[in-house]
Amino acid sequence: MLTGNLVIVRNARDRIIPRYLEPEAPYWLEAAESLLLIFREGLSSGRTRGEIEAEVEALIGEGGGAATLVHRGLAKVLEDRAEFEVVSDVPPETLRAQVFTASSLHRAELRKLGPRHPFQRDEVLAQVAQSFGLTPDQVIAALFADLKDENRILSFKDLSAAALLNRYNVALAQAVLLRSVRIEAEVRGETPARYRHLFRWLKFHRLLYRVTGSATQGYRFQIDGPLSLFSATTRYGLQMALFLPALLQCRSFRLDAELRWGPGRDPMTFHLESNDGLVPHREAQAQYVPQEITVFLERFKLLAPDWETHEAGELVELPGDDLWVPDYRFHHRPTKTDVFVEILGFWKKSSVERLLKLLPQLKTMRYVLALSERLKVDEDAMELDALPDSILRFKEIPNANEFRLRLEQQLNR
């Protein structure tokens, strides 16, 4: 993800237009290949983050301007594809504590001998090294190995130079969307499987959204941007940006975003559509389920063996051209009854109230909504009045036993 200081755009009246790179431009292909070489050689030789960054800066030079920012942006994309770790036989904090203690004792001894006895650094290092079975040089190297610049590269997801340029363009668009207040996306002519793929990404990245439309006419997504939240969080912004690669996989789409741009948060707009040429990357094909939901489902399976859990493929049409996309279908084997479940991540009071108004109009629908108290995004979200039995509130992970009781209450409807 590009940081704000690396985002390069131009303004056209009230519109923000990212300055995308041409993936076939020889200059940028050469620059991308040079940066890739730094990371590839860094991995093969086990260089530190600081050493890699120094090589990148040496390649870029001291010039300024947009070209320099693009180089740094490309390097940031590559850094995000690398994994760094602390490499030390002994935890650095343990070594530091031992060195500081040994130094203090050594100084105390020197004071007894008088002012003419200087501090013997090598003697202290040798003493600490011997206690850990290391050499003094190993102690020096490991002493601050947990500092960010001293972390060594462990792995790197390699890619071609052209793919790096395409990935940069997507990262640039993602960085623009982090300034969004509201997003509207429209998708047409996709297969049911592709629509479900989009819904799954919206759902399991816990975005605040609303869907209208139909499979024949296409769907319109209204998504709250990070700057629309009462308490905007970096986590929400990052999860929202992850939706863009999934959208890019669609053959026909358009996206319009309302932005708040610059220090004054001036109102601006951003437009993107399928013929703009942004290329999705492979990571977007994976499905993501929050770890706490996986833990909850495993607990529930042990506690309630009469229930089967399935990912819900159903799209439930609601009155007023609205659509509900449940997460799971819980099937009760003894009665052959289905209960549909949505586990809301980030949520607003208004969105829950809308569901509580529309879902009961589906007379045959059995459902349970689980609300995370931790992920509410407006001040009065906790003031939902007279919650029905179909609502379960939780903090970190839904309580499996309470959830089972909610499901059983739906059996008696």
Instruction: Read off the pTM.
Output: 0.75
Q: Find out whether 371 and 392 touch, Cβ atoms under 8 Å.
A: yes
49-60 vs 66-80: helix crossing angle, rounded to 10: 150
Cα(146)–Cα(90) distance, integer angstroms: 11
Structure-token pair, residue 374: 């931790």
Buried b (16+ CB within 10 A) or exposed e, 261-276: beeeeeebebebebee
The sign one gets for the Cα dihedral 58, 60, 65, 66 is negative
Residue with tokens 């690398």: 82
Cα(217)–Cα(206) distance, integer angstroms: 25
376 backbone dihedrals φ, ψ, rounded to 5°: -70, 150
In 3D space, the residue among 410, 335, 336, 331 whose CA is nearest the CA of residue 369 turns out to be 410
DSSP string for 215-261:
TTTEEEEEEE-GGGSTT--HHHHHHHHTHHHHHHTSSSEEEEEEEEE
- Helix, strand or coil for residue 267? strand
Buried b (16+ CB within 10 A) or exposed e, 73-82: bbbbbbbebb
CA distances from 175 to 22, 118, 286 (A): 18, 55, 21
pLDDT tens over the chain, length 413 residues: 798 899 999 999 899 999 999 999 999 999 999 999 999 999 999 899 999 999 999 999 876 788 999 999 999 999 999 999 877 667 778 878 888 888 888 888 888 777 777 888 888 888 888 888 888 887 877 777 777 788 889 999 999 999 999 999 999 999 999 999 999 999 998 887 788 788 878 877 778 888 888 878 889 989 988 887 765 566 778 877 878 888 998 989 999 999 999 888 899 999 999 999 999 875 444 456 778 888 999 999 999 999 999 988 778 888 877 888 888 999 999 999 999 998 887 777 777 888 888 888 888 889 999 888 776 666 555 455 556 778 888 888 899 999 999 999 998 87
Query: Amino acid letter at 378?
Result: D
* Residue 71 CA from chain centroid, whole number: 23
Cα(26)–Cα(48) distance, integer angstroms: 30
The sign one gets for the Cα dihedral 43, 47, 49, 53 is negative
| Run of H or E residues at 312 | none
- DSSP state letter for 151: P
Cα(377)–Cα(209) distance, integer angstroms: 13
Q: What pLDDT sits at residue 377?
A: 60
Cα(215)–Cα(78) distance, integer angstroms: 38
